[in-house]
Amino acid sequence: MTLGRIFRTVKYLSFEQWFFRGIRYGKQLARKLMPNLSWRYAELISGRLELPNPNSAHVLLISQRVLFSQLTIDGSQYTNPRLGRFEILNEKFDFGSLKNVFWRGNFKEGDNPLRRMNLAYMDYMVPLLANAEPRALELVATFLKQFEEQNNWSQRDVFRDVWNSYSVSHRLINLLAGISLYNNAGGTCDPAAESQITRHVRLCASFVYNNLERDIQYNHLLKNYVALATYSAGLECLPKKFRFLPSAIEESLCQIILPDGGHAERSPMYHALGILDIDILLNSGIFEIPAIKNLTKIRKKMIRALAIMSHPDGKIALFNDSWLGGSPDVEFFKTPEISSQEILPITGYGRIGGDDDVVIMDFGPCGPDDNPGHAHADFLSIEASIGKKRFIIDPGVPTYTAGELRDISRSAANHNGPHLTGVEPIEFWKSFRVGRRGTAWPIFHPQLSCVAPLWLAGIQTGYRHVGVKTLRWVGLWPEKAMLICDQWLGINNFDAKTRFLISGDWKFLSNRDVVFSSQENSQVRVENLIGRITCTGNATVWQKFGQELSAHEIVIEPTVKSESQAAAIWFQWGDVELPTRECLAKLFATLANLQR
């Protein structure tokens, strides 16, 4: 079983990914066996690079964008790095002083390196330097010296976290941006400290160049390229060894950005972060005019796609390892106006609604087959806002650490989609591994448009290994009601369910009917038209990474008919008539016939 699972996971990897994975493991083994020699060699080859000029116009443009985006994301989290106090992914850590920062702890993430990596990004130094605080450069230089001593290459797992190429890429961008902002703000000149920081930045650039994440690719490899482009922005011309960057970046973006403007990893959060990467690239000065025009075109398509994956509150939907606060709010990107019914057919997201009421539906693949690490089993899952307030919500992300909580958070039963009890449409293992996986796609047919003014529909094949197809149709009457119809075809002895997570910001009114009330006294009544509500209770969600919040749970059991099951759930908050049973019967018959 284990060998089969491994085969189902790795069979999608390309020769290039296998080749560079072997090279990466070989380099890591050499560093582990000869850490001191490897470090000296890394310093030697980094010395062949020209030191960057933090005061160049291109670096300043990049640094201003970096500062703006970081303050938008983490403005409230910069407690006091001078005193060794940090807030990393919604957890506070107090080391007593900056010199006592300990980098090798688990930071409440167990064996997962995510918080160690985030601490090593050093983004907290950007606003500190931007304010041109007294002796800030000296502080950062001393901090870097302590960092290098504590994280020498003989330390266990150091290349999984603080000397991971992804972490190093972030650190390069943040430190170079910080120096640029410090000098631009008129900070006190400190040549020795600035030289020490820029030498570390140069070491980072050399490390990234020699350890590009070509085995992982996607957002990791793009971040490596963005870091090298940032470094190059501080040079008079593109170094000979970096001349591959423009074409490599173009190739990377072709892999990551789909023709409809969506992100191949199907994560709205990583999508937004990808737009920030393009902003840095546009300001780096390494591209010719045709390439700049192409980047601008890609950015425009991505921003429009982001609007389709966003709610009226100006924040993203939380599918596929997305969480609130992991990227800037949507308004940061000045998204365009979109119509009341929008589809990203290749990415697999749809949005219906307007300024107040919105439904966002996931009916696409879980991610790219050769790197589905951020996949959740959220096929046909939805999020919904009513009166600009989030109502049906995704569970979010409690952890990146492998284990029961990670498995639960990725499971189909923990999302707002139709599922089978005890059967997963995706074979998850460890933190980011995926073996067998289904897919989903949207359904278009004129006969499906006769029920509601706005609608979305899709099918998923994650249960094909047990002979079941699952379909969903969602209709919206803006400012009035929403209807969700789920259908399971070919079902035999499996227990089908539909579950909805309702935001804890809505109060559950415990009376004979299922009714939720907002603080503005808006009320939503929930009624099962087909099937029955079997449970209304409490649940836990993690809308911000690792931060537990209470939510409400509604579980619906479908009605059984021959080899199919069906459920129809009605949410009403305005004046509108219920769909007739004849109308629902015709809708389900159409869905079933489309799949024969």
How many helices, marked H, and strands, marked E, lie in the chain?
A: 15, 22
Q: Is 89 exposed, middle or buried (0-12, 13-18, 19+ CB in 10 A)?
A: buried
CATH 2.70.98.70 domain span(s) along the chain: 346-594
Q: Is 288 exposed, middle or buried (0-12, 13-18, 19+ CB in 10 A)?
A: exposed
Predicted structure pTM score: 0.95
Backbone φ and ψ of 113, nearest 5°: -85, 10
- Spell out the residues 6+ positions from residue 380 whose beta carbon is closer than 8 angstroms to its own: 361, 362, 363, 417, 418, 440, 458, 459, 460, 470, 471, 472, 486
The candidate with the shortest Cα–Cα distance to 172, out of 139, 137, 125, is 125
Residues 472, 486: contact at Cβ < 8 Å?
Answer: yes
Residues 353, 359: contact at Cβ < 8 Å?
Answer: yes
From the CB of residue 276, how many other CB atoms can be counted at a distance below 10 Å? 21
User: How far apart are alpha carbons 235 and 227 in whole angstroms?
Assistant: 13
**pLDDT score of 79:** 55
Q: How, if at all, do strands 426-429 and 433-437 pair?
A: antiparallel
**pLDDT score of 107:** 87
User: How far apart are alpha carbons 334 and 307 in whole angstroms?
Assistant: 9
The candidate with the shortest Cα–Cα distance to 480, out of 340, 339, 583, 357, is 357
**pLDDT score of 584:** 92
The candidate with the shortest Cα–Cα distance to 592, out of 469, 463, 476, 440, is 469
CA distances from 270 to 298, 362, 374, 399, 577 (A): 15, 16, 10, 16, 40
Tokens 């790095």 correspond to 81
Q: H helices of 155-267, where?
A: 165-184, 191-210, 218-233, 245-256
**pLDDT score of 511:** 63
CA distances from 480 to 163, 353, 501, 572 (A): 53, 11, 20, 6
**pLDDT score of 97:** 86
CA distances from 509 to 328, 521, 522, 523, 575 (A): 34, 11, 12, 9, 20
Please list the pLDDT of the chain residue by residue as tens digits (596 residues): 588 899 999 999 999 999 999 999 999 999 989 999 999 999 999 999 999 999 999 999 999 999 988 888 765 454 578 888 888 888 889 998 888 899 888 888 887 889 999 999 999 999 999 999 888 999 999 999 999 999 999 988 899 999 999 999 999 999 999 999 999 999 999 999 999 999 999 999 999 999 999 999 999 999 999 999 999 999 989 999 999 999 999 999 999 999 999 999 999 999 999 999 999 999 999 999 999 999 999 999 999 999 999 999 999 999 999 999 999 989 889 889 999 999 999 999 999 999 899 999 999 999 999 999 999 999 999 999 999 999 999 999 999 999 999 999 999 999 999 999 999 999 999 999 999 999 999 999 888 988 999 999 999 999 999 999 999 999 999 999 999 999 999 887 789 999 999 999 999 987 678 999 988 878 999 999 999 998 888 999 999 999 999 999 999 999 987 778 999 999 999 999 999 989 999 999 999 888 75
CATH code of the domain occupying 346-594:
2.70.98.70
The candidate with the shortest Cα–Cα distance to 261, out of 194, 345, 320, 326, is 345
Q: Is 320 left (phi over 0), alpha (psi -120 to 50) or beta?
A: left
The candidate with the shortest Cα–Cα distance to 160, out of 17, 265, 24, is 24
- The token pair that represents 227 in the structure block: 């870091």
User: How far apart are alpha carbons 351 and 486 in whole angstroms?
Assistant: 18
